[in-house]
């Protein structure tokens, strides 16, 4: 079993629990309201805007013998720059106020997800952040395009309101292949344990983030 296969296996229960969150399960069926979609995008903005900063913090804290990871981090940074602005533009295209979303205070659950990653990078093991990368990319490849298609049909919103979701559905398939190759080069047992720990915990924290999004089902089920 490769390390990537082990990572998939050991995070399977936490990943399955994430898919039970009503906001996600209903979103995959297109059974959410426009307000719920905008609220989700707002929370997404407030964690995605930290992705490049997370990667920079990870790179800065790597010990000398692990600086071979810098090339991969630089590639991720180049790919992730500006994605938070895509989200704000999607909010505007969905009829929301993107500047209000930018200025909004994120939910506590979103703040905890962000704080956990900064803390882990600074205090425990910067390599562990790859667990967060795995959580986000493995989730988005499975839900992004499916969820975007369903929500767009259910809410009759323009495709321009789904730039973030559609782009990640396509982008992260390639990212996961790159990620698999990368983590299979990591042989240090402590680094492997850190990646698994962060992945398991961020699946749980992301489930909390989604579960805190104010949720109304679509008009077709409104009483």
List pLDDT tens digits, range 58-73. 999 999 999 999 999 9
| Tokens representing residue 218 in the block | 């679509």
- Percent with pLDDT over 70 in the chain: 94
For position 220, what pLDDT does the model report? Answer: 52
pLDDT in tens, 139-196: 877 677 788 889 999 999 999 999 998 887 655 567 788 899 999 999 999 999 999 9
Measuring CA to CA, how many Å separate 98 from each of 20, 53, 82, 163?
29, 21, 15, 14
Would you say 41 and 164 are in contact if contact means Cβ atoms under 8 Å apart?
yes
What is the rounded CA–CA span in Å between residue 151 and residue 37? 8
Helix/strand/coil for 166: helix
Specify the higher pLDDT residue, 203 or 164: 203
For the cut 70, the answer to whether the pLDDT of residue 133 exceeds it is yes
- Mean pLDDT computed over 85-114: 98
Calculate the average pLDDT of the chain. Answer: 92
**Residue 143 has what pLDDT?**
77
The Cα 145–Cα 149 span in angstroms is 6
**Does residue 223 register a pLDDT over 70?**
no
The predicted pLDDT at position 31 comes to: 94
- For domain 3-218, give the CATH superfamily: Heme oxygenase-like (1.20.910.10)
CA dist 74 and 80 (Å) reads 10
pLDDT digits (tens, 9 = 90+) for 4-25: 999 999 999 999 999 999 999 9
Domain boundaries, the chain: 3-218
Query: So what's the pLDDT on residue 216?
Result: 80
The pLDDT value recorded for residue 139 is 86
Q: Tell me, what DSSP letter sits at residue 129?
A: G
Q: Yes or no: say if 210 and 23 are a contact pair by the CB < 8 Å rule.
A: yes
Rounded-to-integer distance, Cα 29 and Cα 148, Å? 10
Model confidence at 222: pLDDT above 50: no
Are residues 23 and 146 in contact, defined by beta-carbon separation less than 8 angstroms?
no
Tell which residue, 152, 154, 132, has the closest CA to residue 204.
132
pLDDT of residue 145: 73
Name the residue with tokens 């499975």: 142
> 140 or 137, which is more confident?
137
Record the tokens describing residue 103, joined without a space. 């200025």
Whether residue 111 is predicted with pLDDT greater than 70 in this model: the reply is yes
Q: Write down the pLDDT at residue 7.
A: 98
Q: Give pLDDT, residue 205.
A: 98
Q: Of 138, 134, 150, which Cα lies nearest the Cα of 184? A: 134
| Confidence category of residue 221, pLDDT binned at 50, 70, 90 | very low
Query: Which residue, chain included where needed, has tokens 């698999």?
Result: 180
156 φ/ψ sector (left φ>0, alpha ψ -120 to 50, else beta): left
């Amino acid at each position: 079993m490769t390390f990537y296969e082990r990572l998939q296996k050991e995070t399977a229960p936490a990943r399955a629990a994430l898919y039970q969150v009503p906001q996600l399960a209903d979103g995959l069926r297109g059974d959410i309201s426009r307000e719920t979609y905008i609220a989700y995008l707002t929370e997404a903005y407030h964690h995605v805007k930290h992705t490049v900063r997370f990667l920079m913090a990870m790179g800065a804290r790597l010990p000398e013998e692990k600086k071979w990871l810098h090339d991969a981090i630089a590639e991720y940074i180049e790919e992730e720059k500006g994605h938070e602005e895509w989200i704000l533009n999607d909010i505007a295209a969905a009829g929301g106020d993107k500047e209000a979303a930018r200025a909004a205070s994120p939910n506590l659950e979103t703040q905890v997800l962000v704080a956990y990653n900064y803390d882990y990078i600074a205090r425990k093991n910067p390599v562990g952040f790859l667990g967060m990368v795995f959580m986000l990319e493995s989730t988005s490849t499975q839900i992004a395009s499916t969820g975007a298609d369903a929500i767009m049909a259910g809410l009759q919103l323009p495709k321009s309101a789904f730039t973030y979701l559609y782009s990640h559905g396509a982008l992260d398939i390639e990212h996961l292949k790159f990620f698999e190759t990368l983590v299979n080069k990591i042989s240090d047992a402590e680094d492997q344990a850190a990646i698994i720990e962060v992945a398991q915990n961020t699946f749980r924290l992301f489930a909390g983030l989604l579960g805190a999004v104010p949720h109304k089902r679509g008009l077709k089920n409104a009483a």
